[in-house]
Amino acid sequence: MRRQSQIISFVACVAATYLASMVDRVTSSCFFEPHEIAPPSTRKAKPVIA
pLDDT > 70 in the chain, percent: 64
Q: Against a cut of 0.85, is the pTM above it?
A: no
The predicted structure's pLDDT at residue 31: 61
Instruction: Kindly state the average pLDDT of the residues 23-34.
Output: 62
User: DSSP alpha helices (H): ranges in 1-50?
Assistant: 2-30
In this structure, the dihedral spanned by the alpha carbons of residues 16, 18, 21 and 22, taken in order and rounded to 10 degrees, is -110
On the question of pLDDT at 4 being above 70, the answer is yes
